[in-house]
Structure 1
C-alpha cells in the first residue's frame, strides 16, 4: 500500500489487482481490477493466484493489442475446467512419502514452477525447489539419485524443446521425471491441456497441479487447507 502511495505521489498511474475492492490497496490506487475470485478460504491461495494472473494477462493483451491472447482468454474458463479434471496419479505415486523433489520450467512456465514448489511446501510439508531448465544442470542436479521426483512444466512455446531435452537428460540419470509435453524420449509424459496461447498454457498447468497436490497432501495425511505454522494473513516487519 505504501509503495502504491509513493508511486502515485510521484506521478505514476497505479492499478490494483485485488479480490477486495474495498481494501486499502484498492483505495490507494487510481484504478482497480476486481479479480472476482470469491472467498479464498484455504490458507494456501489458489483461486486468487490464477485469477490475478488472468487479470494481468487481460491488461497486457489490451495494452499490446494482442488479439490472439484476447481470444485465448475468452476460451480459458472452459480449458481450465478440463485442466482441473487432470490429477497426475503417476506423479503422486512417484512422490509418495519422499522428502524432496524438483520442479522445473522455462519462460512463463518457470513462474508456475515456482508456485508449484511453494504449494508442495505449504500443503504437503514436502521440500521442493524450483529451477529454470537452463540452470538445473549447474549444481542442483548433484542431489538427484535413483527415483528422485522431478516435475517439468512445459508450455507450448519456444522454450518447450529445450526444457524437454533437459528433462530427458535428468531421466537418464535415474530420476523419475514427469513432463507436460509430447516431445519427451526418456521422461514420462503426463496429461495436460493446451489453451491456444503460450501465455495462458501455464495457467492450465497450475490448475492441474492444484488438483494433484490436494490429493497428494491427503495421501500424506496433511490437511491442505490448514498448513501448519501458516496463517491467512501475515505481518511483514
Structure 2
C-alpha cells in the first residue's frame, strides 16, 4: 500500500482547521494541526510532511516568518491559505517560497484539488496511481471514482456530476444515516443554508436512473424518515 501523504494544517481558527481536516481525511490524507506559528515551525522541522497549508495571520509567529524559516531548512510544498488576497500579498508569498496561494473564503473541494495537483508536481505519484484505480463494488453496482463512471449490472448509467458525487459520498459510508443538512454541506458545499428539496430531488432522480436497469440497486439508497438518507446493501 502506498503511504498516505501527511499534511500540516496551520490556522488559528478551529473552524477552518476542522473543515480542511474533514475534506483532506476524506481524500485519503493524514492530517496534523497547529494553531499558531511557533507550533507550526516546530512540527515542520521535526515531522516528515508532504505539504503544509499555512495561514498568514497567526499568533506567536507570523505565517510569513514561518514560511521563510521553513524554506531555510526544507523544500516541503507550502500552500498559503489567507484572507490577504491583494496582488502584493500574493507576490510576497511566492517570494518567500510558497508554492500556491489560496484566498479565503475558499471552496474546500477546490482546495483538495489544488493540494492534489501540488503533491503530484512534488512527486507523490505512488499514492495517486493507487487513487486512480479506486472503485466501489457492490452486488450489481460498480462505482469507478477516478473516471466517474457507474455501472449497474455491467451497463453504464449516465449521472449528472452532482448525482455522482451524492452516490459516492453515501456509498463510501454504507449504513451511515445522513441528514439533509449534512448532504447539503458536504456534497453541495452549502456551509450555512440551502434548500433541502435539492437533496430530495437528486435522490429521486438517482434512484430512477439506477432503477431503470436494476430495481434492487435503486433500493440501496434508503430513506430514513424524519432524518435523511443512507446507503444500505440489502442483498
TM-score by length of 1: 0.39
Structure with greater proportional strand content = 2
Larger Rg: 2
Q: Which gives a bigger RCO, structure 1 or 2 (Cα 8 Å, sep 6+)?
A: 1
